[in-house]
Amino acid sequence: MGTVGVENILSTPLNRIYVPEGDVLHAIKKGDSGYLDFGEVYFSQVHTGAIKAWKRHQKMTLNLVVPYGEVHFTFVDEKGLYYSETIGDKNYVRLTVPPGLWFGFKGCSNKISLVMNASNIPHDPSESERKKTDEIKYDWSKV
């Protein structure tokens, strides 16, 4: 875990199939790049301009998709290197995030946004740690 860096984050473009009654949006299937195992799927809403930061997992690999709205993610590794990407309506990709990276995100849509995480293990509060938003330097106001 000591050597994981932001360069290990995977950004995978996803298909979005036009259907007149409402599009079909791919998220993740068994065997996809970044898929390890199935633990849990849950959603995290983010209000417009709201920031959820920071959290770091020891065991969980995240597979993040934004099926509604736009969310700016920032990741920080032990070397202090940053990686940011805004995903959702305009950039429909899946972010695969290995354990060991700090991450935070901000709602960047004028409506509510929805983050889906399909993780390789079920939620377990003992394998994650948190820092307050201002404990890691990042200018969220520019996002």
- What residue ranges bind a copy of itself (CB under 8 A)? 19-31, 38-47, 50-52, 67-68, 107, 112-114, 116, 118, 122-123
* Pair 42, 117: CB distance under 8 Å: yes
- If the CB atoms of residues 6 and 34 are measured against a copy of itself, the closer one turns out to be 34
In angstroms, the CA 79 to CA 76 distance is 8
- Residues facing 107 on adjacent strands: 48, 71
- If the CB atoms of residues 42 and 127 are measured against a copy of itself, the closer one turns out to be 42
CB of 76 to a copy of itself, least distance (A): 19
Cα dihedral 54, 60, 65, 67, rounded to 10, equals -90
Given the structure tokens 């950039």, which residue do they identify?
91
CB of 62 to a copy of itself, least distance (A): 14
CB of 55 to a copy of itself, least distance (A): 12
